């Protein structure tokens, strides 16, 4: 699946989860990991994920953003996850 469709799905998931104004889905270049496919970095924690499907996007949004847990299976190699995540603060 192309990065444009995945970006659009991140935006629609933010709307579905009522996170507009809390979560921003920005576009960027390849972030030096083009060979892995589309990359996602969650700030301020700095957690790096690769995504290949809309289901991956939904899982990151629901588990990482809403529930505050790392989606281990999607972690980008060579980018260790932090020990703790910051709690989500809805507007």
Confidence class of residue 30 from pLDDT cuts 50, 70 and 90? low
Mean pLDDT, residues 55-77: 93
How many independent structural domains does the chain possess? 1
The domain of 50 spans: 3-74
Whether 88 is in a domain gets the answer no
Domain assignment present for residue 32? The answer is: yes
CB-based contacts of 60, cutoff 8 Å, min separation 6: 40, 42, 49, 51, 71, 74
Instruction: Please determine, for residue 91, whether its predicted confidence score (pLDDT) is greater than 60.
Output: no
pLDDT, average across residues 42-68:
92
Average pLDDT, the chain: 85
- CATH code of the domain containing 34: 3.40.30.10
**CA distances (Å), origin 5, targets 2, 12, 45, 53, 83:** 6, 10, 25, 9, 31
Q: Which residues lie across from 42 on neighbouring strands?
A: 47
Indicate the pTM of the whole model.
0.83
The three-state secondary structure class of 58 is helix
Residue 13, in any domain of the structure: yes
């Amino acid at each position: 699946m192309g990065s444009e469709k995945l970006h659009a799905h991140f935006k629609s998931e933010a709307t579905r989860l009522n996170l507009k104004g809390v979560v921003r889905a920005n576009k960027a270049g390849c972030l030096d990991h083009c060979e892995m496919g589309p990359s996602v970095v969650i700030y301020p924690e700095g957690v790096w994920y690769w995504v290949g499907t809309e289901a991956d996007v939904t899982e990151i949004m629901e588990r990482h953003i809403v529930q505050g847990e790392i989606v281990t299976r999607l972690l980008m190699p060579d980018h260790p996850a932090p020990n703790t995540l910051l709690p989500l603060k809805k507007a």
